[in-house]
């Protein structure tokens, strides 16, 4: 920030009760504060100016104190010093510019407040040694086998019905002997095939259903294990 100090009017001698720093020559102290200000040693300049203002509340000293505060980045004390300057010198020729400076400093204060830290997002993580994977889809093979077993059972039932029909035909008194013999043979054949179909179909149906139930339970167990491997970290 460009150094800018307004020279004070000749300062009178300071009373004996003034602070030790202000007990020296006020003009010399002012010159010292101006030198420190131009060298960028704002804190040291502020100490001298505060002592001068306390001992001799000249309005222009309050303005210079405000400049030192502002250059040091102390915006709140700078605004207060400028306001005290305007209050002590209501007819100051630079009143408009000082008021504009106060407004600019007030606008800077909110932007220099540190923002509140953003909330930490919740992240779902998995342990390093237990990364869950998507369980595989259930295989349709068990239910295909069960369906095939059901179809074979139906076929066995149909053949069983044909066997009964041929046996009834063979026993019918109206059937000639040759046809009766043929009907008995067909009945026995249908009966044997029907029995085999019922056995095979039943076995396929039971095996397919059992396989499907077991596979479904195993998949449910994998899903449960995967879910228990998840944890929420903050």
* Region 161-187 average pLDDT: 78
Whether residue 7 is contained in a domain is answered as no
Residue numbers of the domain that contains 224: 141-233
Whether residue 128 is contained in a domain is answered as no
Say yes or no to pLDDT of 20 above 70.
no
- pLDDT at 184 (0 to 100): 77
Whether residue 224 is contained in a domain is answered as yes
3-class SS string, the chain: CCCCCCCCCCCCCCCCCCCCCCCCCHHHHHHHHHHHHHCCCHHHHHHHHHHHHHHCCCHHHHHHHHHHHHHCCCHHHHHHHHHHHHHHCCCCCCHHHHHHHHHHHHHHHHHCCCCCCCCCCCEEECCCCCCCCCCCCCCCHHHHHHHHHHHHHHHHHHHHHHHHHHHHHHHCCCCCHHHHHHHHHHHHHHHHHHHHHHHHHHHHHHHHHHHHHHHHHHHHHHHHHHHHCCEEEC
- pLDDT tens per residue across span 61-97: 999 999 999 999 999 999 999 999 999 999 989 999 9
Total tally of structural domains belonging to the chain? 2
- pLDDT at 21 (0 to 100): 47
Say yes or no to pLDDT of 12 above 60.
no
User: Which CATH number do you get for residue 82?
Assistant: 1.25.40.10
Stated pTM of the model: 0.43
């Amino acid at each position: 920030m460009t150094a800018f100090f307004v020279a004070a009017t000749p300062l009178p001698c300071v009373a004996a009760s003034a602070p030790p720093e202000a007990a020296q020559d006020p003009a010399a102290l002012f010159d010292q504060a101006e030198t420190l200000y131009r060298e960028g040693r704002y804190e040291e300049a502020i100490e001298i100016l505060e002592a001068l203002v306390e001992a001799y509340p000249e309005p222009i000293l309050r303005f210079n104190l405000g400049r030192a505060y502002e250059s040091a980045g102390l915006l709140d004390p700078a605004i207060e010093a400028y306001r005290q300057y305007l209050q002590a010198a209501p007819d100051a020729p630079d009143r408009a510019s000082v008021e504009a400076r106060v407004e600019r400093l007030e606008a800077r204060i909110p932007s220099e407040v540190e923002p509140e830290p953003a909330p930490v997002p919740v992240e779902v993580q998995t342990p390093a040694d237990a990364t869950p994977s998507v369980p595989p889809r259930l295989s349709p093979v068990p239910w295909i086998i069960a369906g095939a077993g059901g179809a074979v059972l139906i076929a066995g039932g149909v053949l069983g019905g044909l066997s009964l029909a041929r046996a009834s035909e063979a026993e019918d008194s109206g059937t000639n002997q040759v046809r009766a013999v043929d009907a008995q043979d067909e009945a026995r054949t249908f009966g044997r095939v029907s029995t085999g179909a019922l056995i095979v179909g039943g076995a396929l149906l039971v095996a397919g259903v059992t396989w499907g139930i077991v596979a479904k339970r195993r998949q449910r167990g994998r899903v449960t294990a995967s879910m228990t491997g998840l944890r929420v970290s903050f």
